[in-house]
Amino acid sequence: MSAATIVRLTGVYHADGGLRGELAYAVNRIRGTAHCALCDITHRGLRPRREWISLAAELGVPVDLVHLNERTPQVYAASDGYTPCVLALTDHGLIRLLEPSDLDRLAGDVTAFATALRSAAEKAGLRWPTAPPAA
């Protein structure tokens, strides 16, 4: 069997979306009772990080970012109990590439995220449709 090719990436935040979910996350983050390492990578405050926007555009595959309450049944099955995380949709199915502890270790660093993502894809034996960007 040939190596699976990454078709799309899905990042799953460890928070609900929508106004209520976003407000609850913000309040609980201030209280120190909520944390999402994927949020730290993709956002600075309320705005997406410029470095994240650049990386997502360079990956060569679409990147979806979803909240807990926005997951499809397939994404739910692959991520339940493992959020935040990053999943790769391949021509052979969904594969969890980065788990909560992996993302925590990155401490919000987009360059380190790119390196970790490439490494995880390589370890999983996945191919990119085009070469991923260098770190």
Nearest to 11 by CA among 54, 40, 34, 45: 40
Q: Residue 52's domain spans which residues?
A: 6-123
The answer as to whether 135 is a domain residue is: no
SS3 4: coil
| pLDDT tens by residue, 27-48 | 667 677 667 899 999 988 778 9
The answer as to whether 1 is a domain residue is: no
Q: How many domains does the chain have?
A: 1
Which of the residue ranges 17-26, 63-72, 126-135 has the most confident prediction, judged by mean pLDDT? 63-72
Report the chain's mean pLDDT, rounded to a whole number: 89
The answer as to whether 58 is a domain residue is: yes
Instruction: Determine how many CB atoms are found less than 10 A away from the CB of residue 80.
Output: 12
The answer as to whether 129 is a domain residue is: no
Instruction: Determine how many CB atoms are found less than 10 A away from the CB of residue 18.
Output: 11
The answer as to whether 134 is a domain residue is: no
Q: What's the pLDDT score for residue 134? A: 54
CB 38 within 8 A of CB 54: no
pLDDT above 70 (res 93)? yes
The answer as to whether 42 is a domain residue is: yes
